[in-house]
Structure 1
Amino acid sequence: MVLDIWKQIKQREIAPIYLLYGTEAFLINETKQLLLNQVLDEEEKDFNFTAYDLDETPIEAALEDAETFPFLGEKKVIFLHNPKFLTAEKTKDKIDHNLARLEAYLKDPAPYTVLVISAPYEKLDERKKVTKELKRSAVSVEAKKLNEHDLKNWVKERAKINGIVFDPDALDLLITLVGTNMFMISSEVDKLALYAAEEKRINAAIVEKLVSRSLEQNIFTLIEKVVQRKPEAALRIYYDLLKQNEEPIKILALLAGQFRLIYQVKELSRRGYGQQQIAGFLKTHPFRVKLAAGQANQFTDEELTNLMAMLANADHQMKTGGMNKSLLIEMLLFKIKR
């Protein structure tokens, strides 16, 4: 678990080798920065920190650096980027890496070097000997989407670093408004911390006032107004999006995507799948599935089927017809009110 490993790093329990893999770029970046800051002082970074792109540098050259004593310090940190040899990806590498050299280093790493291998890939090739050796020797950090519980814990920790505390309903509202993009959440937490520098506490009213809504969140709120039989409120949100120069075709695509998710969640729930299973099957965040499940309960199967047909028809007209695109969505919102 990435949060547990962060705790170890903060306690200066530093391993000689780290493998960071997965597609959640924020977690990979945060882990690298945390390691760098915990191992080296600012003045040491100029001398004892190096990053290598393995698309450009052979692994043996980077390992030679790893085995060289640090300059004016006790430790050095080396980042290795783009280790495509850990994947099943068929590419014509410009570099011929000596992987036997890496396997030997893994068995006897330099005690004064922290080697961080960053592999931003969804999957590693577990059949390869080098991957097996790396998984066996390194502390592995799987950078995948955090579930709702871990995401809230991470936000609380981020807030604590900023010297603030979230009320429980404020934390729920933050995630509902911003979504699960950790870069965006981090930015919003930092902004809220500046606002609450004196009070040190964030309530729901402050979140409602200050937090920026993503386009996807505005679409979700728009659909919520449809679910609540409030077409006028849905139209107000739509008009606001147009004022922000959002393209009607993009708005329609997001509407269709959200209703498709609602339809899929409803169908899979009927088949007995749990929310975590649905999230894995649809390759989406469990929090999105949770929200969609709540909306799905407000529609009958027939209503959702009709909605999907209406959205498909609107998409066809928008791409092929001469009708005003913004008016098309306006008419659609009138039609899908219940």
Structure 2
Amino acid sequence: MIFDVWKDIKKKQLQPTYLLVGKESFLMQETIQLIIDAGLQEEEKDFNLSVYDMEETTIDQAIEDAETLPFMGEKRIVVIKNPSFLTSEKKKEKIEHHLGKLEQYMNEPAPYTILIFFAPYEKLDDRKKITKLVKKNSVVLEMNSLSDRDIASWTMELVQNEKVLMGQNALEELMILTAGDLTIINQEVKKLSTYVGEGRTISREDVRNLVPRSLEQNIFELIENVVQRKSSQALQIFYDLLKTNEEPIKILFLLVNQFRLILQVKELSKAGYGQQQIANSVKVHPFRVKLAMQQARLFGEEELVSILMELAQADYEMKTGRKDKQLVLELFLIKIFTKNTA
């Protein structure tokens, strides 16, 4: 739905009120920027664009601005950030909001104003009268994690906008290396496009050579080599991490996180959960769940529990200084290789 709304916005088919909800901040910022670019000329933005943070300003001030005629232009855009009064949050507010003014406005919005609610929450409280009213009279865009298909579609649209091409293998490699992070994908597509040049094709090798691996991605590759019994490759990644001054304790922490995720994914998959349901349950990006599902097939549950116990022992030995930190991790990896080849 979000991409359909983006198409309408780009055609300048703008609506009086938008409600953006979710944790995918990049998409939310992109949507707001599209609305601003479609609704206002560059020279109008200083006069007719306002942003109000509801943690610092009352809703009355924002609505008063929304009801003010635009200056030297046809439209006014008012952005309302952090509207926690639409949620069930019980935190003590520094600002007291009188919602009567907002209710009146939502029932009769100003025809010359575009009002945007920027709500960085997983969900709103649909039991509240004001939430129901805002939802009823707004274009509602839920912006939590996208599906793999949507991320791929969005990425290819970026590629087309940069006037370059990208094959399926290169796309898959990019999604793996960025773990589906939209902000990073956006940066890397621009860099890759500049590198290959207009009209050329971004290859898988281009992606591998130019897109940096995160520490988390290196840990994933390390585990992948462990389960594939590629001991030399796994150890090479480990030593490369040490050469870049990554702390053994941090590497251990990420190993624990990844193996714990693999176990959680395995158990939830067994219980009938799908990829998106698992992502919501363990609160990680769906693409990380997809990769963990692939690795989970290569382990038994008892084996994963045993590995986590060994990692807990390694953590204890590191923190108590009983053994050299690098040696602790080396011994752990060797033990895993021995089990896999037994």
Q: TM-score, normalised by structure 2?
A: 0.95
SS at match of 1:336: helix
Per-residue deviation, 1:331: 1.4
Partner of 1:194: 194
- What 5-or-longer segments of structure 1 have no aligned partner? none
Specify the alignment match of 1:18 in structure 2.
18
1:259-283 deviation line (CA, Å, top 9, x unaligned): 1111222222233333333233322
Q: Distance in 2 between matches of 1:169 and 1:76?
A: 44
Amino acid at match of 1:32: I
The equivalent of 1:299 in structure 2 is 299
What's 1:178 paired with? 178
Q: Which has the higher mean CA deviation after the structures are superposed, 245-254 or 169-178?
A: 245-254
Deviations 1:96-120 (A, max 9, x none): 2220110110111111111111111
Deviation for aligned residue 1:321: 3.0
The offset of 1:199, in angstroms, is: 4.3
**2:260 alignment partner, SS class:** helix
Q: Which is further off, 90-99 or 14-23?
A: 90-99
Paired residues of 2:20 and 2:143 also in contact (CA < 8 A): yes
Shift of 1:287: 2.1
Deviations 1:257-314 (A, max 9, x none): 1111112222222333333332333222332222112212222333222211111111
Map 1:191-230 onto structure 2 (within 5 A).
191-230=191-230
Greater Cα offset, 122-131 or 301-310: 301-310
Contact 2:163 2:198 (8 Å CA) reproduced: no
Structure 2 partner of 1:250: 250
Q: Does 1:260 align with 2:243?
A: no
Note the aligned Cα RMSD (angstroms).
1.4
Deviation at 1:14, TM superposition (A): 0.6
Q: Shift in Å at residue 190 of structure 1?
A: 1.0
Amino acid at match of 2:325: K
1:318 maps to 318
Cα distance in 2, alignment partners of residues 51 and 291 from structure 1: 39
Equivalent position SS for 1:185:
helix
TM-score (norm 1): 0.96
Letter in 2 for 1:18: Y
Map 1:272-283 → 2, pairs under 5 A: 272-283=272-283
Residue 75 of structure 1 is matched in structure 2 by 75
Structure-1 separation of matches of 2:252 and 2:24: 27
The number of equivalent residue pairs is 338
Worse overlay, 62-71 or 199-208: 199-208
Separation in 1, partners of 2:95, 2:296:
51
Q: Matched residues in 1 for 2:137 and 2:52: separation?
A: 20
Post-superposition Cα deviations, 1:225-258, rounded to whole Å, max 9, x if no partner, equal 1011111111111111122222211111111111
Matched residue of 1:50: which SS? strand
**In structure 1, what is the Cα distance between the partners aligned to 2:221 and 2:295?**
11
Overall identity of the aligned pairs, in %: 53
